[in-house]
């Protein structure tokens, strides 16, 4: 049976998100109990294990209850943020699966793909600066945002077109991962910057 790292990663993300979501719900219950909105006696059946700790919270004096409310709000927001982060697709430190078979798999980090794409963009005529942001992780096709600096006098449209083509071809052939789309953002480097760079 082939080990699918993309499926394993998705399973891990779902389990992690579920755990953080459960902790966020517990934080909300603690908050509502400390604020006096719900009563510990309302927890019956499968949730009866919550009754005793919630009763202890409801017996606290108000200054301590306010501290518990504050702590519950902060922890609840933290857990919700962690749930959302599990499904964020903009992590620059992600991993991309290049090959997977019964002997294992080969991965490359996002920074590696960005570095290769930047060198490809610099090979285009007129391009003297390049910065690449990679979106997408695991075995999914990547989306690339390429910011390029072009020297004055170069054909901006042609340079950007060449850079986009070079980035797509290089990432797909040298890295071996599909490119879903590339957005190129071009700017012309001012002569002052060029002079300072040569100095």
Of 100, 84, 79, 81, nearest in space to 13 by CA: 84
The answer to whether residue 93 sits within a structural domain is: no
Which of 22, 52, 86 lies at the terminal end of a domain, its last residue? 86
Q: How far is CA 55 from the centre of its chain?
A: 39
Picking from 52, 86, 120, the residue at the C-terminal end of a domain is 86
Helices 110-122 and 156-170 meet at what angle, rounded to 10? Answer: 140
53 lies in the same domain as 124: no
In a domain, 117, yes or no: yes
pLDDT at residue 7, rounded to an integer: 62
In this structure, are 158 and 79 located in the same domain? no
Residue 195 pLDDT:
63
**One domain for residues 44 and 117:** no
Instruction: Say if 188 falls within a structural domain.
Output: yes
Please tell me the predicted confidence (pLDDT) of residue 42.
77
- 91 lies in a domain? no
pLDDT along the chain (199 residues), means of 10: 54 84 89 84 71 83 86 89 71 72 84 95 95 86 94 94 97 93 93 63
Q: Are residues 16 and 48 in the same domain?
A: yes
**Which class for 195: exposed (0-12), middle (13-18), buried (19 or more C-beta within 10 A)?**
exposed
Q: Are residues 117 and 82 in the same domain?
A: no
> Both 81 and 122 in a single domain?
no
Domain shared by 187 and 146, yes or no: yes
Q: What is the pLDDT, as a whole number, of residue 8?
A: 63
Are 80 and 157 found together in one domain?
A: no
Range of the domain at 39: 5-86
Same domain, 77 and 115: no
Give a yes or no: residue 104 inside a domain.
Answer: no
149-171 in b/e form (b: 16+ CB < 10 A) is: bbbeebeeeebbebbbebbbebb
- Please indicate, yes or no, whether residues 159 and 192 belong to a single structural domain of this protein: yes
- 156: domain CATH number? 3.30.70.1350
**Torsion angle in degrees (nearest 10) through CA of 166, 168, 169, 173:** 140
| Gap between the Cα atoms of 184 and 186, Å rounded | 6
**Predicted pLDDT of residue 144:** 95
Is residue 97 one of the residues assigned to a domain?
Answer: no
Q: What pLDDT does residue 198 have?
A: 59
Q: What is the pLDDT of residue 91?
A: 46
Q: Which residue has the tokens 């991962």?
A: 177
Number of domains into which the chain is organized: 2
Judgement on whether residues 115 and 179 belong to the same structural domain of the protein: yes
pLDDT at 35 (0 to 100): 85
User: Is 143 contained in some domain?
Assistant: yes
Q: How far apart are CA 76 and CA 95, in angstroms?
A: 29
Is 163 part of any domain? yes
pLDDT at position 1 is 42
């Amino acid at each position: 049976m082939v080990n699918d790292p993309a499926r394993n990663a998705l399973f891990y993300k779902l389990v992690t998100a579920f755990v953080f979501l459960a902790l966020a719900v517990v934080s909300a219950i603690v908050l509502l109990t400390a604020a006096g909105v719900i009563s510990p006696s309302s927890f019956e059946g499968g949730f009866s294990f919550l009754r005793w700790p919630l009763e202890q919270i409801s017996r606290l004096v108000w200054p301590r209850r306010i501290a518990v409310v504050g702590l519950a709000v902060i922890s609840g927001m933290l857990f919700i943020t962690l749930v959302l982060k599990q499904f964020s697709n903009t992590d620059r430190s992600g991993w991309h699966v290049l090959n997977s078979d019964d002997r294992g798999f080969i991965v490359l980090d996002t920074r590696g793909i960005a570095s290769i794409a930047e060198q490809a963009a610099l090979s285009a005529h007129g391009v003297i600066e390049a910065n690449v942001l990679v979106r997408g992780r695991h075995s999914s096709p990547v989306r690339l945002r390429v910011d390029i600096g072009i020297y004055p006098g170069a054909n901006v449209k042609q340079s950007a077109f060449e850079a986009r083509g070079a980035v797509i071809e290089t990432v797909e052939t040298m890295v071996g991962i599909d490119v879903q789309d590339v957005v190129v953002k071009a700017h012309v480097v001012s002569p002052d910057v060029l002079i300072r760079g040569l100095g």
